[in-house]
Chain A
Amino acid sequence: MNRPPVLARLLVTLCCPSRDRVYVLGDLDAEYELRGCRTAWYWRQAIGSVGALVMMGARRGDWEYGLLAVMLAAAGPPLLMEAWWSFVLSHVPLKVGGVRGTDFVVLSLALTALLSFGAGMICTIRGLCRAIPTAWLFALLAQSVVHSLVPPWFGMASRATLTASLTAGAWVRRIFDRGQVA
């Protein structure tokens, strides 16, 4: 028997929530064999499954998805804004070394609020006690990269935004879950 394409299988393995991985991969492998080991079919199934499997893990609040979302929400905005600023400054050499402006802070905080609201919806109320310290840790790590170039109060404002948005997201998820069909 031909083995399924390694990369396609890895893609499914990475996207699938751990508790269902063995069933999804088992089913895929079995049908792959049944269909005469058609690599294109396996790839189509793997790519077509990515979105649905990620959403399934996020909806159930599986910890690995929550952790990934919290990491992105906490470290993503400052690093993304830093990259953007570096790009802008590379075109305005006279301003190199200048303190980041209000636009950097406002955009970074807005992005933090948006991403951490989504992360809060994945983490749920129960996971907040782990999500908030984790978010603070990743925010501190990311901010250490841009620390010298942002206003001194930026770190505190960012952590406050993270905490408030994570909590708001988790509450909205709770309200949404209670409204579902029993």
Chain B
Amino acid sequence: MAKGDFLGEFEQLILLAVLRLADNAYGMEVRREIEIRTGRDASIGAVYATLDRLEGKGLVRSREESRAERPRKLYHVTADGTRALAATHRAVSSMWEGVRVPGV
């Protein structure tokens, strides 16, 4: 894989949050999911900017939800997004093989 094909740490967190949330993956829920699971208090701006960048790369797609009481943009991970996530996971796991770090 080329250098630019791997996902950054925050990009991985966002994609995983979108996958976990399934049909309820919009900005606020993605931010909260990351906060609950990792303790990282990401800003809503960083979440939207990352989702926008991932959408530009074709790794997520968005649609507006009109039924909600306020306009919301729902995201879902594309097949390319799943592939990129799997490739990054494989690369990181491969690097961890045989490495011993106290506390892990």
A-B contact count (CB 8 A): 80
Say which residue of A12, A30, A48 sits within 8 Å of B28 (CB atoms).
A30
Say which residue of B5, B32, B52, B57 sits within 8 Å of A31 (CB atoms).
B32
B-side interface mostly: helix
Binding site for B on A (CB under 8 A): 12, 15-16, 20, 22-24, 26-28, 30-31, 44-45, 48-53, 55-56, 59-60, 179-182
A-side interface mostly: helix
CB distance from A22 to the nearest CB of B (A): 5
Query: CA–CA, A28 to B44, complex, Å?
Result: 7
A30 touches B49 (CB 8 A): no
Type the 1/0 row for B67-101, where 1 means its CB is closer than 8 Å to any CB of A: 00011110000000000100000000000000000
Query: CA–CA, A181 to B59, complex, Å?
Result: 9
B52 touches A56 (CB 8 A): yes
Q: Is B22 an interface residue (CB 8 A)?
A: no
How big is the B interface, by class? 20 to 34
A60 touches B52 (CB 8 A): yes
Q: Is B103 an interface residue (CB 8 A)?
A: no
Say which residue of A15, A45, A51, A181 sits within 8 Å of B5 (CB atoms).
A181
A48 touches B48 (CB 8 A): no
Say which residue of B27, B43, B53, B73 sits within 8 Å of A48 (CB atoms).
B43
Query: CA–CA, A94 to B41, complex, Å?
Result: 58
Set of chain A residues within 8 Å of B48, measured between Cβ atoms:
20, 23-24, 52-53, 56
Set of chain A residues within 8 Å of B84, measured between Cβ atoms:
181
- Chain B: CB-nearest residue to A179: B4
Set of chain A residues within 8 Å of B32, measured between Cβ atoms:
31
A51 touches B72 (CB 8 A): no
Residue of B52, B53, B57 ringed by the most chain A CB atoms within 10 A: B52
Set of chain A residues within 8 Å of B46, measured between Cβ atoms:
48-49, 52
B58 touches A182 (CB 8 A): yes
Query: CA–CA, A60 to B49, complex, Å?
Result: 10
Q: Is B102 an interface residue (CB 8 A)?
A: no
Set of chain B residues within 8 Å of A45, measured between Cβ atoms:
43-45
Query: CA–CA, A60 to B43, complex, Å?
Result: 20
A180 touches B71 (CB 8 A): no
Set of chain A residues within 8 Å of B53, measured between Cβ atoms:
56, 59
